[in-house]
Chains A and B, each alone.
Chain A
């Protein structure tokens, strides 16, 4: 009987999955390509132009993303004026490669989902560019920084605008490369170089997942375009779809720092703060959520993969929150929080049609308030001579009034204070989670409580409590070029919830992600809301008792419980990676090199030819090694013959 139910459910679901069938781009939409081209042009001019562009490069680098923002806005207004049915527009630029069945076009797709992303990337991106003019004012390599930022923006736009998975992969690799360059921007710091490398290596694992998923899609469907795959996915077997889904999830885990590929995000904070705000809070790390939401036509038919998404998301949202509780470095605290919040988004995306829209909604509000707080943290660091240790802050609210107020808006939004943007978005995800699965819902609620705790701790340690900085430090408010973006982002953090008014965002996204009838949660919605708010209040109150009522030592106490030690050590994420991957890997390489050197390679490398002296001549050094080479040829031949015969007899 249960099979019967499942079958009808599946048939029912198929009915709801929208097929991507865009119309040809015209009017304002024919400018779509410019959205990517403008920042790309900026990157080219700034990176190739050399020192001639030092003087004005940062202005150009800021103006071009603003241009992209304007076009995105025009397109958005245009799309609002259209009927719900014609809100998908595609622009064909040229055939990238086409041979037989392998047909990949440089195609762009503009639909409600990419519309939201475009506004977020170009809008928040432009604000962060403006902020960086002030933040990087004294850096001798400022021009290059803006060049990399523009490159990143262009790649990110490619990622969300492409109409096929190969183009998405191009953007995906592009943001990875730009992020690598930006994390390691201060390469003179060995920690920054190491962090860049770590992010790069871990992301390759994710990219491998995405690459395999694309190959599998191509082999299964014969196409990689969204329209093709979405039209054909209902015909594929569930096993195949589950595999594609899981591989896509691996890709998403790498980019979005989800367990088990989370270890790079905290280290990535070595990059300049605007980078953390743009890449590691508002845009790139949310690419995984985009990927899963975009691939709804796969995941809706792949229940196992969908369950995997929910599990990963739930673990990550708690994992990140726990890390956030123990960090004294303000940026790492925020990074832990980012990980946790993306966990919420992934959770929403993993919950299926009911959750996609809320995942994107939370992604947008999070983009506002987390960029706001990162930039706020940058402003605090600016004031504190680049000290990032919150234990050295305290009592800054009077000295940095603008930073304080804007940061507070972000704080209230992230903990979900009623009326602020984060309140609406997180509440909705928890509500859907409780409806779908009670355990996941309860864990998500607990996560909200922990969020209340660590964010209150951060707020108190930084702006309240007694001053703990040394006498030589003179905290001062940042210049207007930095505070104005903060104010704008703070306003968005407060008002972002407006997108939910009249269920607007859900209806707007429904052409992309489908629409389901509202299902009643186990408790009335208002009761759930009250419970969540109470849990958050509990967490915040606990933090207040622990940090405001007691003195905070300047040095982190060492005699702490096991739990705190574990959280400080990133829940041993690195140690786990080390044992499972790094050490066996490096031992394998060493062993192979050793074998190669001893058995096969001899001491060819100049050892024979030059160092041992010219007089030795060839005979002496050579014969032995050629013999061993020949032996390997003979051995190989023998193996080939034997296997071929053995297998076929």
Chain B
């Protein structure tokens, strides 16, 4: 009979996770014990305090972790090897928590809907029925969105920190399930929203299946689910190689689905459009951060020695993804949908960075690693994306958010501030110099280039040029077109929650473009993954 020892848990280093999950549980209690009308303020407080506390704890842990045994990385392997708290983990945690706080602010916004949140009053009421109408007139609100958000964020924290494939799978589900629900809770256009949630759920479950099967195959190959053991087995390379290759491909499917890479991108436009915009804003940034973190860890740690196999595969995926995203975005007239396709293109750009992995011997003196490039790109894109989606919530007409292209025409004349801010985010996503997007693109493209992937950088630059076209077209529409006489949208004055979020994103995008130095230092300071 095997011995069962008591597992060691590094409570201090894992505080951020405990705080977030603890706050989520507290949120459920609030939901259970407080009367419906009074829940909102406590929920928002619990969420914000929880996230801010977790962020503070992350910073504390980041200043505190020591050099890992192998020297190149900082941090420790915790919870019996299932959670790894190293430099990249901590950076990604910080990023997810910041986007979580911004997302919470957008969730809590109530002024835009005349005192109601953007979420359905009573999700259980069928659209178009009497029950729904009653829920609306009574001013009901779903405050469950806050605990859901917290659970999802908890999953996102765990995802890139996973030390083995099982933890990674559990984290994947923990982050996904609440998101599926959140996507279906829009107050307006509920069918669209529910449809999106349904699709996201079915396809997400489908791709999780691939991930799990891949994990099983890799276990069959390596005899372990731990990433470092898999790395060891791959380096020894004794077992059946085909098993490993199929396993890598299937694991990749699960992760590529989450980041929205082609050919697994089909859900992105529908879900981004159908979900409440606050949710879209949050998940466009945070899910990407978490999923790319996990992708990087899996491929850089477990399959590092197998680089020559997966680099070309991801390279092709990257090319197809960015070209498809950019070209289809050109054909969109709806702003929200255009942003969704642009998110696909950005996934491609990020993948371009991912394939730039090189062994430490191949890197030149002081050359930055592809990991650092991708982390920086995630930062820049996340802020621009949250900011842009947040602005979508304030441009409205009688039917709620007005995302139809023509209703935005001439917005620059009516609301120069909103249009100007949106234009700035567009410029950043387009990668115009002096915005953060330029530095980010530069970082990922050069790392792919120095790894010898010029044949990926070439389409990447082509795609960014196509992308500039539709971003600038949007700017042109806002500033140089006459307003549409039938359906011109106007800006509804939001509360400080939304304006603050936009202001933070704006400042981050500007500062990261002009003086990216400090953040780049932070990224470099994050160092390597622990192997």
Tell me which residues from 608 to 625 in chain A have a Cβ below 8 Å from any Cβ of chain B: 608-610, 614-615, 618, 621-622, 625
- Taking CB atoms, residues of chain A closer than 8 Å to B203 are 626, 629-630, 633
The listed residue with most B CB atoms (<10 A of its CB), out of A219, A622, A632, A649, is: A219
State whether A100 touches B128 (Cβ < 8 A): no
Query: If the complex has contacts A95-B517, A645-B246, are A629 and B267 also in contact, measured as CB distance less than 8 A?
Result: yes
- Taking CB atoms, residues of chain A closer than 8 Å to B366 are 100-101
User: What are the interface flags for A213-234 relative to B under an 8 Å C-beta threshold, 1 for contact and 0 otherwise?
Assistant: 0011011001000000000000
State whether B199 touches A100 (Cβ < 8 A): no
* Measured CA separation A636–B266 after assembly (Å): 11
Query: If the complex has contacts A593-B331, A614-B191, A615-B128, are A647 and B457 also in contact, measured as CB distance less than 8 A?
Result: no
Tell me which residues from 319 to 373 in chain A have a Cβ below 8 Å from any Cβ of chain B: none
- Taking CB atoms, residues of chain B closer than 8 Å to A469 are none
State whether B242 touches A610 (Cβ < 8 A): no
- Taking CB atoms, residues of chain A closer than 8 Å to B140 are none
State whether A609 touches B192 (Cβ < 8 A): yes
* Measured CA separation A216–B50 after assembly (Å): 46
* Measured CA separation A253–B337 after assembly (Å): 35
* Measured CA separation A201–B469 after assembly (Å): 8
- Taking CB atoms, residues of chain A closer than 8 Å to B465 are 204-205, 207-208
* Measured CA separation A643–B252 after assembly (Å): 13
Whether, in the assembled complex, A547 has its beta carbon less than 8 Å from a beta carbon of chain B, the answer is: no
Task: Give min CB distance, A579 to chain B, whole Å.
Answer: 20
State whether A218 touches B331 (Cβ < 8 A): no
User: What are the interface flags for A15-35 relative to B under an 8 Å C-beta threshold, 1 for contact and 0 otherwise?
Assistant: 000000000000000000000
Whether, in the assembled complex, B521 has its beta carbon less than 8 Å from a beta carbon of chain A, the answer is: yes
* Measured CA separation A94–B514 after assembly (Å): 10
Whether, in the assembled complex, A99 has its beta carbon less than 8 Å from a beta carbon of chain B, the answer is: yes
Task: Give min CB distance, B140 to chain A, whole Å.
Answer: 20
State whether A640 touches B249 (Cβ < 8 A): yes
State whether B368 touches A99 (Cβ < 8 A): yes
Whether, in the assembled complex, B195 has its beta carbon less than 8 Å from a beta carbon of chain A, the answer is: yes
* Measured CA separation A644–B310 after assembly (Å): 7
- Taking CB atoms, residues of chain A closer than 8 Å to B523 are 99
- Taking CB atoms, residues of chain B closer than 8 Å to A180 are 472
Task: Give min CB distance, B258 to chain A, whole Å.
Answer: 12
Task: Give min CB distance, B458 to chain A, whole Å.
Answer: 7
User: What are the interface flags for B54-80 relative to A under an 8 Å C-beta threshold, 1 for contact and 0 otherwise?
Assistant: 000000000000000000000000000
- Taking CB atoms, residues of chain B closer than 8 Å to A166 are 433, 442
The listed residue with most B CB atoms (<10 A of its CB), out of A166, A174, A187, A626, is: A626
Residue of A nearest to B337 (CB): A605
User: What are the interface flags for A583-594 relative to B under an 8 Å C-beta threshold, 1 for contact and 0 otherwise?
Assistant: 000001110110
Tell me which residues from 107 to 122 in chain A have a Cβ below 8 Å from any Cβ of chain B: none
* Measured CA separation A187–B413 after assembly (Å): 15
How many residues in B have their beta carbons less than 8 Å from beta carbons of A?
82
Whether, in the assembled complex, A479 has its beta carbon less than 8 Å from a beta carbon of chain B, the answer is: no
- Taking CB atoms, residues of chain B closer than 8 Å to A201 are 469
State whether A204 touches B198 (Cβ < 8 A): no
Query: If the complex has contacts A99-B524, A101-B366, A222-B364, are A632 and B210 also in contact, measured as CB distance less than 8 A?
Result: no
Q: Of B199, B210, B364, which one neighbours A622 at CB under 8 angstroms?
A: B199
Whether, in the assembled complex, B497 has its beta carbon less than 8 Å from a beta carbon of chain A, the answer is: no
Interface-lining segment among B93-101, B220-228, B284-292, B443-451: B443-451
Whether, in the assembled complex, A637 has its beta carbon less than 8 Å from a beta carbon of chain B, the answer is: yes
State whether B189 touches A609 (Cβ < 8 A): yes
User: What are the interface flags for B320-355 relative to A under an 8 Å C-beta threshold, 1 for contact and 0 otherwise?
Assistant: 000010011011001001000000000000000000
Task: Give min CB distance, A608 to chain B, whole Å.
Answer: 7
State whether A204 touches B365 (Cβ < 8 A): no
Task: Give min CB distance, B332 to chain A, whole Å.
Answer: 9
Whether, in the assembled complex, B263 has its beta carbon less than 8 Å from a beta carbon of chain A, the answer is: yes
Tell me which residues from 176 to 232 in chain A have a Cβ below 8 Å from any Cβ of chain B: 177, 180, 184, 187, 193, 200-201, 204-205, 207-208, 211-212, 215-216, 218-219, 222
- Taking CB atoms, residues of chain A closer than 8 Å to B432 are 173, 177
Whether, in the assembled complex, B245 has its beta carbon less than 8 Å from a beta carbon of chain A, the answer is: yes
State whether B449 touches A215 (Cβ < 8 A): yes
Task: Give min CB distance, B364 to chain A, whole Å.
Answer: 6
Residue of A nearest to B468 (CB): A204
Whether, in the assembled complex, A606 has its beta carbon less than 8 Å from a beta carbon of chain B, the answer is: yes
State whether A649 touches B266 (Cβ < 8 A): no
Tell me which residues from 489 to 531 in chain B have a Cβ below 8 Å from any Cβ of chain A: 514-517, 520-521, 523-524
- Taking CB atoms, residues of chain A closer than 8 Å to B445 are 215
- Taking CB atoms, residues of chain B closer than 8 Å to A596 are 328
State whether B327 touches A97 (Cβ < 8 A): no
* Measured CA separation A94–B516 after assembly (Å): 11
- Taking CB atoms, residues of chain B closer than 8 Å to A97 are 439, 442, 516-517, 520
- Taking CB atoms, residues of chain B closer than 8 Å to A622 are 195, 198-199
Task: Give min CB distance, B348 to chain A, whole Å.
Answer: 14
Tell me which residues from 428 to 487 in chain B have a Cβ below 8 Å from any Cβ of chain A: 432-434, 439, 442-443, 445-446, 449-450, 454, 457-458, 461-462, 465, 468-469, 472, 480
* Measured CA separation A645–B250 after assembly (Å): 12
State whether A636 touches B313 (Cβ < 8 A): no
State whether A626 touches B198 (Cβ < 8 A): yes
Q: Of A95, A606, A621, A636, which one neighbours B262 at CB under 8 angstroms?
A: A636
- Taking CB atoms, residues of chain B closer than 8 Å to A615 are 128
State whether B368 touches A101 (Cβ < 8 A): yes
State whether B198 touches A100 (Cβ < 8 A): no
State whether B520 touches A614 (Cβ < 8 A): no
* Measured CA separation A562–B367 after assembly (Å): 59
Whether, in the assembled complex, A639 has its beta carbon less than 8 Å from a beta carbon of chain B, the answer is: yes
Whether, in the assembled complex, B309 has its beta carbon less than 8 Å from a beta carbon of chain A, the answer is: yes
State whether B253 touches A636 (Cβ < 8 A): yes
Task: Give min CB distance, B239 to chain A, whole Å.
Answer: 14
Whether, in the assembled complex, B278 has its beta carbon less than 8 Å from a beta carbon of chain A, the answer is: no
Whether, in the assembled complex, B359 has its beta carbon less than 8 Å from a beta carbon of chain A, the answer is: no
Whether, in the assembled complex, A544 has its beta carbon less than 8 Å from a beta carbon of chain B, the answer is: no
Residue of B nearest to A204 (CB): B465
- Taking CB atoms, residues of chain B closer than 8 Å to A311 are none
- Taking CB atoms, residues of chain B closer than 8 Å to A589 are 327, 330-331
Whether, in the assembled complex, B207 has its beta carbon less than 8 Å from a beta carbon of chain A, the answer is: yes
Query: If the complex has contacts A219-B446, A633-B203, are A184 and B257 also in contact, measured as CB distance less than 8 A?
Result: no
Whether, in the assembled complex, A401 has its beta carbon less than 8 Å from a beta carbon of chain B, the answer is: no
Whether, in the assembled complex, A648 has its beta carbon less than 8 Å from a beta carbon of chain B, the answer is: yes
State whether B433 touches A647 (Cβ < 8 A): no
Query: If the complex has contacts A589-B330, A604-B270, A644-B309, are A219 and B450 also in contact, measured as CB distance less than 8 A?
Result: yes
State whether B446 touches A173 (Cβ < 8 A): no
The listed residue with most B CB atoms (<10 A of its CB), out of A96, A102, A645, A647, is: A102
State whether B433 touches A173 (Cβ < 8 A): yes
* Measured CA separation A608–B274 after assembly (Å): 12
State whether B245 touches A100 (Cβ < 8 A): no
Whether, in the assembled complex, A73 has its beta carbon less than 8 Å from a beta carbon of chain B, the answer is: no
Whether, in the assembled complex, B248 has its beta carbon less than 8 Å from a beta carbon of chain A, the answer is: yes
Whether, in the assembled complex, B11 has its beta carbon less than 8 Å from a beta carbon of chain A, the answer is: no
State whether B524 touches A641 (Cβ < 8 A): no
State whether B250 touches A641 (Cβ < 8 A): yes
Whether, in the assembled complex, A98 has its beta carbon less than 8 Å from a beta carbon of chain B, the answer is: yes
Query: If the complex has contacts A615-B128, A633-B264, A635-B263, are A208 and B198 also in contact, measured as CB distance less than 8 A?
Result: no
- Taking CB atoms, residues of chain A closer than 8 Å to B198 are 618, 622, 626
Whether, in the assembled complex, B42 has its beta carbon less than 8 Å from a beta carbon of chain A, the answer is: no
Query: If the complex has contacts A215-B449, A609-B189, are A636 and B246 also in contact, measured as CB distance less than 8 A?
Result: no
* Measured CA separation A639–B249 after assembly (Å): 9
User: What are the interface flags for B181-212 relative to A under an 8 Å C-beta threshold, 1 for contact and 0 otherwise?
Assistant: 00000000101101100110011001100100
Ranked nearest first, the 7 interchain pairs of A and B with the lowest CB-CB distance are A636-B263, A100-B368, A614-B128, A609-B192, A609-B191, A170-B433, A99-B520
Instruction: Supply 15 further A-B pairs (C-beta < 8 A) apart from A98-B517, A204-B468, A606-B192.
Output: A99-B376, A99-B523, A102-B368, A166-B433, A173-B432, A215-B446, A589-B331, A609-B191, A632-B263, A637-B249, A637-B250, A644-B245, A644-B248, A644-B249, A645-B245
Can you name 18 A-B residue pairings with CB atoms under 8 Å? A99-B368, A99-B520, A102-B368, A211-B461, A215-B461, A216-B454, A588-B327, A592-B328, A609-B195, A609-B274, A610-B189, A640-B313, A641-B250, A643-B316, A644-B249, A645-B245, A645-B246, A647-B309
